[in-house]
Structure 1
Amino acid sequence: MSHIEANGKTKRKRSSVSRREQCRANQQRYRNKQRNHQLELEQSVEQLHQELDSLKWRRRDLTSRERISHGPWTIVAEVFHLLETSFRSPWRLTNTEEMLKHADIRHSLAFLRESFADDVSMGDLTGADMLMEQLRRYSLYFGDPQIKLNRIEAVASGVMRATATLSVTVTDFTLRHVLPHLEKPVGRGEEDEHQSLREKLMGARLTCECSMTLLSDEQSGRIVRLMASIDLLPSLIRLLGGLENLSSVLDHAMFSQECVVGGNMDHQTADKLSSGSFAE
């Protein structure tokens, strides 16, 4: 084979290798371009979803006054809607900073300010901010709380009553904040007299009937008083097996007859809940 022919074959081989490399490079650029395009599409879709959610909540905010003028029926339904959504996403209520991140929570707070009187009361609590703190506690102190609205009825002029079914799971948080007298003793040598009760309660799913009565001011239409009732007795008796055990659980429970849960209210947190910083 001549030197010229050898050089020709070498050049053709190099040219073939170069074309293959160029082809692979082109394919890689194409794949990168497609991947970048896909990422851009996904980001655009996510942005559109966020904008759509924002528009929905803005529309809701703009029509809140109109809905309130329809009467207390809508207010009661909205209260239970807030309960349901908060129970489904309790992490949103962990602290004020987390709540501020979510437009739906901010709008719900705005709705409460619009629908409830400034001095609305529930038991010894006063103000919508305190009611929101109670909602936060229910969401965090119990496991997987769920509420199902069963019925809304007008009892009298300015008095609405709603009945529902509430389901909660007893957790470590429940024992710590609602039933602290049942916790395991810290000191050595102390008798653990409530161990059997804790074992029965821990992880138990309690389903009970509850009701909420809302009294509204005739002139403003705003809610001025809220009375709640949760019938825990049937579920607890079935679980604990007797009135003596029931008494041991409920006698020192941080749960009032007005369904106020937990110890002293955190006024600093409650004040933040009612502040204008939650406005859109």
Structure 2
Amino acid sequence: MPAPDFRDLDKNSILGDKATELPKPLTSCEKNTKRLERCRINQKRYRERQRAIRSSIEQIMIQINTLTRKQRHLTKRKESRDPCRVVGDMFNQLEAYFRLLGCRSDKKVQLDRGREQEMVESMKNSFVFDVVLGDVNGVDAVMELLHRNSQYFDDPTVHLKQLEEVSSGIVTASATLHVTISVSTLCFLFPRLLRTSLSKHCPPFALGKRLLGEQLECECSITFFFDKASGRVARLQTSINWIGALFRVLGNLKEVSNVLDGALIIV
């Protein structure tokens, strides 16, 4: 049998279907597209690493500042004033602070940010670093809570009526808090009063309209627990009589109950 003559066979005949499976060389446009995609992915990873580094640095700086402030508090001299004097001075500072914040509603008066910060720092000096108020812990958090709550009302004022040192290192202050109900009050503290109601007898929305612009006079009590080592306030307990204040405006307990239902305040 004669040997086959391979000269008559072309490349495709020898390789068969495998020749069609060979990858085609990329065009210049396709190469550029792949290169740009790799660059985009690398840039995205770089930006993510940079954000992570910046976030870590910010967290470290916060921790450094916190530890520095804590050290500063720990190295302060013991408060020389007696507890009643400390609380009385704090109420004077608080009254002045509320008056300063009230300037924001007057376009003719520019808020003195430096003066505000000075007042805040002065009040901070009366607390230990990890002072506790309810579920809030830390002097910065307590001051932030005070500032935030003052923004929920118009024209907040507080007047100290009586101080009593019930035992060594424990002072109870009786005061009157005056606040005016604003739209912010309804939004943040009484959100239910902004909704339409299914009740035909006492719709919350109507109650919200009645309260808007009304001034509440709230009797309140604050107990200050002092740290013996530093002579500063370590814990506070507050009680505000919202029921009595609302009753004087609305005139009946049923409407007061409807207002307080779902309210974001402690009664």
Equivalent residue for 1:198, pick from 199, 208, 216? 208
Q: Which residue number in structure 2 is paired with residue 68 of structure 1?
A: 79
Change (3 A) 1:113 1:239: closer
In structure 1, what residue type is equivalent to 2:89? Answer: E
> 1:15-53: CA deviations, max 9, x gaps?
xxxxxxxxxxxxxxxxxxxxxxxxxxxxxxxxxxxxxxx
Residue 155 in 1 paired to residue 166 in 2? yes
Confirm or deny: 8 A CA contact 1:112 1:128 kept in the other structure: no
In structure 2, what residue type is equivalent to 1:144? Answer: D
Q: Which residue number in structure 1 is paired with residue 23 of structure 2?
A: none
How far is the alpha carbon of 1:66 from its aligned partner?
8.2
Q: Which residue number in structure 2 is paired with residue 57 of structure 1?
A: none
Equivalent residue for 1:218, pick from 222, 225, 228? 228
How far is the alpha carbon of 1:171 from its aligned partner?
0.8
> 1:79-112: CA deviations, max 9, x gaps?
2122211211226799xxxxx9633333333333
How far is the alpha carbon of 1:122 from its aligned partner?
0.8
Residue 146 in 1 paired to residue 195 in 2? no
Equivalent residue for 1:249, pick from 255, 259, 264? 259
Residue 178 in 1 paired to residue 189 in 2? yes
Confirm or deny: 8 A CA contact 2:102 2:154 kept in the other structure: no
In structure 2, what residue type is equivalent to 1:125? Answer: V
Q: Sequence identity of aligned pairs in percent? A: 37
Unaligned runs of 5+ in 2: 1-75, 106-110
2: CA distance between counterparts of 1:138 and 1:92? Answer: 16
How far is the alpha carbon of 1:238 from its aligned partner?
2.8
How far is the alpha carbon of 1:242 from its aligned partner?
2.5
The structure whose RCO (Cα within 8 Å, separation 6+) is larger is 1
Unaligned runs of 5+ in 1: 1-64, 95-99, 258-280
The DSSP-based 3-state class of the residue aligned with 2:248 is: helix
Q: Which residue number in structure 2 is paired with residue 118 of structure 1?
A: 129
1: CA distance between counterparts of 2:78 and 2:176? Answer: 26
Change (3 A) 1:140 1:113: closer
C-alpha RMSD of the superposition = 2.7
Name the count of aligned residue pairs: 185
In structure 2, what residue type is equivalent to 1:85? Answer: A
Confirm or deny: 8 A CA contact 2:78 2:230 kept in the other structure: no
Equivalent residue for 1:81, pick from 76, 87, 92? 92
Q: Which has the higher helix share?
A: 1
Confirm or deny: 8 A CA contact 2:159 2:175 kept in the other structure: yes
Q: Which residue number in structure 1 is paired with residue 116 of structure 2?
A: 105
How far is the alpha carbon of 1:256 from its aligned partner?
2.1
Q: Which residue number in structure 2 is paired with residue 169 of structure 1?
A: 180
The DSSP-based 3-state class of the residue aligned with 1:152 is: strand
Confirm or deny: 8 A CA contact 2:78 2:231 kept in the other structure: no
1: CA distance between counterparts of 2:104 and 2:166? Answer: 32
In structure 2, what residue type is equivalent to 1:171? Answer: S
| TM-score normalised over the length of structure 2 | 0.62
2: CA distance between counterparts of 1:66 and 1:104? Answer: 24
Q: Which residue number in structure 2 is paired with residue 276 of structure 1?
A: none
In structure 2, what residue type is equivalent to 1:162? Answer: A
